[in-house]
Structure 1
């Protein structure tokens, strides 16, 4: 399971902020914060003002070509970082992941987070659990424990 910010999951958590149940709201806030922390984004990265939004007429073919070249450079630079996220887990790390899942499950968490934990367990069982997933669980547990 990838821990990247997925729009639908993010919106589902934002929708939970309307709940009358304070515990559900708090769990959603913690989930949002953990996802943003792991993804390395801030609210400023996620939200832009109308003044910052590019107009369709602002782009020319030259700009698009330059953007594509820059994107290719960024992909080359980040591919090395991404490889470390895909390294297999050691037996110790697998045990740590299972322990984190159990600990988080014992906390007050949203239904969405419970579903995510089930997916992580399945990934762990099928050898699809990655380093970035372990980092996410560590950050989530730390945030929920705060």
Structure 2
């Protein structure tokens, strides 16, 4: 399956968050084309990792699926992430959905449910919004 070689497929997935809408859309269409050309379905392509499938698995991942490896919470918590959240919440250009997501992250941190994956997403969002702000300035 040359169209689904891992490195080029991941490179396309990385471009889905590109601030240039045309670039992100072109990447999405290329991903879709490659999956269709391979003859695979998304369900076949997105096979859960070993051990993630239990008796109650029905083909859809939820926040409760055991996909994380290692500790859910870093020792010492996420103080830098709280700072990033507050900085992002100060932006007046946030969509209501993004604002709510950030507030949910604050709750997750307080409840001990904030993960390393959440932290990476938050840092990527902060970097992306920072790039957009610099471009529009």
How many residues get paired?
90
Quote how far apart the aligned CAs of 1:53 are.
8.3
Distance in 1 (CA, whole Å) between partners of 2:17 and 2:119 is 16
RMSD of aligned C-alpha atoms? 3.7
SS of corresponding position for 1:52: helix
TM-score normalised by the chain length of structure 2: 0.51
4+ residue segments displaced more than 4 Å: none
- Cα offsets for 1:16-49 (capped at 9, x unmatched): xxxxxxxxxxxxxxxx728xxxxxxx5233x348
- Cα offsets for 1:99-137 (capped at 9, x unmatched): 111111112211110010111111111100000000000
Quote how far apart the aligned CAs of 1:89 are.
2.2
Aligned partner (choices 49, 53, 58) of residue 75 of structure 1: 49
The structure richer in helix per residue is 1
Distance 1:53 1:90, change over 3 A: same
Task: Provide structure 1 residue ranges, at least 5 long, that are not aligned to the other structure.
Answer: 1-31, 35-41, 60-66
Distance 1:106 1:131, change over 3 A: same
Higher relative contact order (CA 8 A, sep 6+): 1
Matches within 5 A, 1:55-66: none
- Cα offsets for 1:59-92 (capped at 9, x unmatched): 9xxxxxxx6xx94xx61399xx8314x531232x
Paired position in structure 2 for 1:100: 84
Distance 1:51 1:121, change over 3 A: closer
Matches within 5 A, 1:119-134: 119-134=104-119
